[in-house]
Amino acid sequence: MPVERILNELKKYNKVSSRFTDWRHISAKSGIYEEFPEWIEDKLIEILKEKGISKLYSHQASALEFIRNHKNVVVVTPTASGKTLCYNLPVLDSILKNENSRALYMFPTKALSQDQLTELYQLVSALDEGIKTYTYDGDTPSSARQAIRKKGHIVVTNPDMLHLGILPHHTKWMDFFGNLKYVVIDEIHIYRGVFGSHLANVVRRLKRICRFYGSSPQFICCSATIANPRELSQKIVGEEFVLVDNNGAPQGEKHFLFYNPPVINKELGIRKSLIKEVARFVAYFLNYEIQTIIFARSRLTTEVLTSYLKDFLAKTGRPKDIIRGYRGGYLPNLRREIEKGLKDGEIKGVVSTNALELGIDIGQLDACFMAGYPGTISSTWQQAGRAGRRSNSSIAILVASSNPLDQFVINHPDYFFGESPESAVIDPDNLSILVSHIRCASFELPFEEGEDFGTKKLRDVLEYLEKEGVLHCVEKKWYWMSEVYPTEEISLRSASVDNFVIIDTADQQEQVIGEVDKASVPTLIYEGAIYLHEGEQYAIHRLDYQNQKAYAEKVKVNYYTDAQDETNIEVLEVFEKAEESNMEHAYGEVAITTVSTCYKKIKFYTHENIGFGEISLPPEEMRTTAYWLALTNDISELLEDQESEDTSFNLSSGLLALSNILINVVPLYVMCDPQDVRAVSEVRSPFTGRPTIYIYDNYPGGVGFSEKMFELRRSLLQAAQELILGCGCEKGCPSCVGPIDEVGIKGKESALLILREALS
């Protein structure tokens, strides 16, 4: 078979095989089966047996038993292990027993909702009992919505539609909410940070409306592997949960390889280009007709990789369309076309951001490449799980960048393959998020004195909104008074509800080719930017900031663009602090001001800087939370003496180097994406008066990462020290403290000296 053949060739080719830091063989595993429980309707069991499902996996049987006993359940098993049956069976069984029973399915994306609905439709159609199953999202025609509200037994939606289109119109859903028995939340590990904090408040609103109509639904959640699935489910739902993780599904053989590109400049610690190495690997696999998925960490990397692979196909005389890009910002019809092409086998390779990490059915591919560590162990396993059939061998290859986080993972495979230390963090009581949803909840139903909304801050927020003139209190009830429709002002997934569209102005025919959120404007679609889309290059020649439009023309240039920015930080309030080991640690509220100043032109293939351009955009301001560590007076004086006496130490370089390394070790302990936190270092902070490093949540109001960093501060410093000491470079490099031209030749030694004193 092609996979076995290519594995054998990789082993024989010493120039490549010597770069693998780990080659983990995961044996095929037989399934663990149990009989169907007696309480499931016979007709439902017969239908499943006709589909070839004669028994349940052990985790499915366990989940059903807990659900039968009215427990909220979170099921945590690998990709393609049959989690869907854990909720479809009890939901369909309850409707067969009582036609008034209702269920709400919630998936994080519309694409996943549509995909999961296909499997459910097959069961419902085979049962032929009149169970009405519908999707209800932004694409649902107005003509169908009334029928769904009145007659739908199972309504499949996403958090955004529940927030915007269902809860505010609950009076039209009276029968549905009054009979709601089950709420299913799939892929719950996705709901961390801002998204998870919003969802927890949407669920508070949902439960409040259910109570009003006399129902108390049971919750069934599914998750990928994280450290705290039960805790996360309980935080989102506000109720006790039972964890089911006794996976009984069979698994095919998998080879998981860690590849570290060779160092091409030992003094500077520079490795061979990640993008070029991945492109070379994938081209090799395409020659064997091995259907492959490639995950990249950013939109820019996705597009550059797609361009390189299309160029390779063109040179070999093969059709360029067998390789496609896939990311957020592509229009829905294009994404559906790509998904179908993968399922049908017409597309041999797809380069994607984490948009395809979720359980969208794109068929089971043979190989998965990850261009850089995805940021969390959970995401890495999810991405690797997109390759592999139960009966065949599959291969997953993680190719490391020079990024310190990548280098830590690639050189510590036992850390990765051991138990996951990552925890998903949310903060439902984040004041900015909480106030927004209490406004929405007030619009939906008046609040009563003593009512529970899952937070101690409710009364304070209600009184604040009354002073603002939004609410009016009469006989201990708070009524909505504003003419504003509050849900439209909130985006569950970002700080802003504003999206900018990119318009192709070719031949005077203005056609929308994509969109980006407001936060991405300063890095992707400023005037002068090269916007990459499916391997094509578009030059942004005009940005209409007020009307949220970017005008672009297709061009053919030999470079892409990369924006640079500057950040200032101001402390507003200290929540907690601790002084230990020559360092003062604290976390609190801060104000962040960021402005994009210029962009670099990066040449394709050589990745050299071939020019600059200015960016003229207004500064972005944000209030959030931060963790900071300041050197105490004793250590500050010691280091100042060191700097004057020892030419190997430089305080400014050391702080910058340490901030670079800390920003990369945080995702090892806090389940956040690397872009969820940012760092600023100051030789003399206006607030502390001492050398200080700030690491802040990159979201308005903060979402709990800073508090978690404060709690884990010693572990973070120890991991930073270990990572620097474990790097073989002499003066610092991208694999530890950052490039020498950024941190200076004294950065590495200076950072180690600060850490030694901090951990003494």
pLDDT digits (tens, 9 = 90+) for 386-399: 887 666 788 999 99
pLDDT at 272: 87
What is the spatial distance between Cα 464 and Cα 476, in angstroms, rounded to a whole number? 15
pLDDT at 81: 85
**Secondary structure of 45-75 in the HEC alphabet?**
HHHHHHCCCCCEEHHHHHHHHHHHCCCCEEE
Q: What is the pLDDT of residues 167-199, one digit of tens each?
A: 999 999 999 999 999 999 999 988 887 788 899
Look-up of token digits 């001492």: 690
Q: Which of 193-207, 244-258, 350-364, 365-379 has the lowest mean pLDDT?
A: 350-364
What is the spatial distance between Cα 699 and Cα 692, in angstroms, rounded to a whole number? 21
Percent of the chain with pLDDT strictly greater than 90 = 42
* Pairwise pLDDT comparison (244 vs 648), residue with the higher score: 244
Task: Inform me whether the pLDDT recorded for 71 exceeds 70.
Answer: yes
Tokens of 54: 């004669």
Q: 230 in helix, strand or coil?
A: helix
Strand partners, 471: 480
pLDDT at 205: 97
Q: What is the pLDDT of residues 536-574, one digit of tens each?
A: 889 999 998 888 899 999 899 888 898 888 889 999 999
pLDDT-derived band at 618 (thresholds 50, 70, 90) equals confident
Q: Which of 371-385, 408-422, 552-566 has the lowest mean pLDDT?
A: 408-422
Percent of the chain with pLDDT strictly greater than 70 = 94
696 Ramachandran zone, left/alpha/beta (phi>0; psi -120 to 50): beta
What is the spatial distance between Cα 158 and Cα 135, in angstroms, rounded to a whole number? 9
> In which element (H, E) is residue 627 found?
strand 620-631
Look up the pTM and report it. 0.76
- Winning range, highest mean pLDDT, from 4-18, 156-170, 488-502: 156-170
Residues 6+ apart with CB under 8 A from 335: 111, 326, 355
Here the contacts of 307-312 (C-beta below 8 Å, separation 24 or greater) are 307/532, 307/535, 307/604, 308/275, 308/276, 308/279, 308/604, 308/605, 309/279, 309/282, 309/283, 309/349, 309/351, 310/535, 312/279, 312/283, 312/286
- Residue among 317, 324, 264 at smallest CA distance from 292: 324
* Pairwise pLDDT comparison (671 vs 146), residue with the higher score: 146
pLDDT at 644: 58
pLDDT at 495: 45
Q: What is the mean pLDDT of the chain?
A: 87
Question: What φ, ψ does residue 397 adopt, rounded to 5°?
Answer: -125, 120
Task: Inform me whether the pLDDT recorded for 133 exceeds 90.
Answer: yes
Q: What is the pLDDT of residues 626-643, one digit of tens each?
A: 999 998 876 666 666 666
Average pLDDT estimate for 675-685: 89
What DSSP assignment string belongs to 450-480?
T---S-TTHHHHHHHHHHTTSEEEETTEEEE
Assess contact for 416 and 378: CB atoms under 8 A: no
Assess contact for 610 and 539: CB atoms under 8 A: no
Task: Inform me whether the pLDDT recorded for 6 exceeds 70.
Answer: yes
